[in-house]
């Protein structure tokens, strides 16, 4: 190492001419102008893309949470933003530790991205506890309204609890009323309703009962109920629709995260709710067909990019 590049002098270690405070602004302005010129030369009058925000936890194993959401946004040609609510230590076999982000930092992340980006939709995933739920509800109340897809993450695929029990009432009271769409699976719906859902015939009624908590619409997923084809029930202002698809013989990790993120991406692209849900269910099914096992556990991680919608894959070749 050169004599001047010592750990005691980090600025000089990066180079003799460290920029002064005013130079940072000038450099940023120059970079923006250069980026605009490059975009114009490529024939892109406005290179900006709509953005979708995910408010969720990080999965160190890369299969679910923020990581799955951002890959889903990328597959849909949407710019992904994130507010990290929790750090989890996990892999394909277990969740070994969870640390919840301080509410002030969660609020700062959300405020920062709303201040700068064209956010067209947002997805809410793992929140962890009552303080986080109240923080997210409070921050979103002072931001402009965009479609909210709420995935009530409560239990990991491994069985680990991801939401404190005393937070369920806060979730019902503070976030369900602002949701455009609530996307629980059957075990999550049972916790929210306080009753068991034992048969596929009970799914439609359970979805209607969940809608009474305030969300505009509910997509109750049927993968945990029955053994035949999977039936997902959408109940909302336009009535009741059922989306049926074959049950695949694999244990997919991050399917709920991916589905809610894909719905948010389709809403951001301007699709009406039912079409956004239908397109997202098809995307998840393709991603499951491209699933793979990167770890030693039995769970499969979805092939998010391989399942990208066809029109978006074609568009991506010229980027």
- Give me the mean pLDDT over the 81-100 stretch: 93
At residue 290, the 3 state secondary structure works out as coil
d(Cα 310, Cα 76) in Å, to the nearest integer? 10
pLDDT tens-digit readout, 121-178: 999 999 989 999 999 999 999 998 999 999 998 866 555 566 777 889 999 999 999 9
pLDDT at 159: 56
Q: Which of 29-33, 162-166, 237-241 has the highest mean pLDDT?
A: 237-241
Q: Name the residue among 283, 297, 272 with its Cα closest to residue 92.
A: 297
Q: Which helix (H) or strand (E) holds 123?
A: strand 119-124
pLDDT at 122: 98
Chain mean pLDDT for the chain: 83
Q: Name the residue among 232, 231, 236, 233 with its Cα closest to residue 214.
A: 236
pLDDT tops 70 at residue 13: no
DSSP 203-272: HHHHHHHHHTTS-SEEEEB-TTS-SSSEEEEEEETTEEEEEEEPPPSS-EESHHHHHHHHHHHHHHTT--
Q: What is the pTM of this model?
A: 0.82
Please, which pLDDT band fits residue 116 given cuts at 50, 70 and 90?
Answer: very high
Q: Which helix (H) or strand (E) holds 54?
A: strand 51-59
In angstroms, the Cα distances linking 221 to 169, 207, 226, 233, 309 are 21, 9, 12, 6, 22
- Give me the mean pLDDT over the 242-270 stretch: 90
pLDDT tens-digit readout, 200-213: 888 999 999 999 99
Please, which pLDDT band fits residue 298 given cuts at 50, 70 and 90?
Answer: confident
Please, which pLDDT band fits residue 311 given cuts at 50, 70 and 90?
Answer: low
pLDDT at 157: 58
**Which carries the bigger pLDDT value, residue 161 or residue 103?**
103
At the fourth CATH level, the homologous superfamily of domain 51-316 is: Ribokinase (3.40.1190.20)
**Which carries the bigger pLDDT value, residue 140 or residue 251?**
140
Of the chain, the percentage scoring pLDDT greater than 90 comes to 59
Of the chain, the percentage scoring pLDDT greater than 70 comes to 79
pLDDT tops 70 at residue 72: yes
pLDDT at 284: 94
pLDDT tops 50 at residue 17: no
pLDDT at 261: 98
- Give me the mean pLDDT over the 226-232 stretch: 81
- Give me the mean pLDDT over the 172-194 stretch: 94
pLDDT at 57: 96
d(Cα 300, Cα 282) in Å, to the nearest integer? 18
Q: Name the residue among 268, 313, 267 with its Cα closest to residue 286.
A: 313
């Amino acid at each position: 190492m050169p004599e001047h590049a010592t750990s005691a002098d980090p600025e000089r270690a990066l180079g003799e001419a460290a920029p002064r405070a005013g130079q940072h602004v000038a450099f940023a302005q120059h970079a923006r102008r250069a980026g605009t010129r490059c975009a114009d030369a490529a024939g892109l009058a406005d290179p900006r893309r709509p953005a979708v925000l995910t408010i969720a936890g990080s999965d160190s194993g890369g299969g679910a949470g923020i990581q799955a959401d951002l890959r889903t946004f990328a597959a849909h040609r949407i710019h992904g933003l994130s507010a990290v609510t929790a750090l989890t230590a996990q892999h394909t076999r277990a969740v070994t530790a969870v640390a919840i982000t301080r509410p002030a930092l969660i609020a700062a992340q959300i405020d920062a991205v709303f201040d700068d980006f064209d956010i067209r939709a947002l997805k809410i995933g793992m929140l962890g506890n009552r303080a986080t739920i109240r923080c997210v509800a409070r921050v979103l109340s002072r931001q402009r309204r965009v479609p909210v897809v709420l995935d009530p993450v409560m239990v990991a695929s491994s069985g680990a609890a991801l939401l404190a029990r005393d937070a369920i009432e806060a979730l019902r009271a503070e976030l369900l009323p602002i949701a455009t769409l609530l996307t629980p699976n059957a075990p999550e719906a049972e916790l929210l309703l306080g009753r068991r859902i034992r048969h596929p015939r009970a799914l439609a009624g359970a979805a209607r009962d969940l809608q009474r908590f305030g969300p505009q619409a509910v997509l109750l997923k049927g993968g945990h109920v029955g053994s035949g084809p999977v039936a997902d029930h959408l109940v909302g202002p336009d009535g009741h629709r059922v989306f049926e698809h074959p049950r695949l013989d694999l244990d997919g990790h991050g399917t709920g995260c991916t589905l809610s993120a894909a719905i948010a991406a389709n809403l951001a692209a301007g699709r009406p709710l039912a079409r956004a849900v239908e397109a997202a269910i098809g995307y998840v099914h393709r991603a499951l067909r491209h699933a793979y096992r990167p770890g030693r556990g039995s769970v499969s991680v979805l092939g998010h990019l391989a399942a990208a919608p066809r029109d978006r894959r074609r568009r991506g070749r010229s980027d």
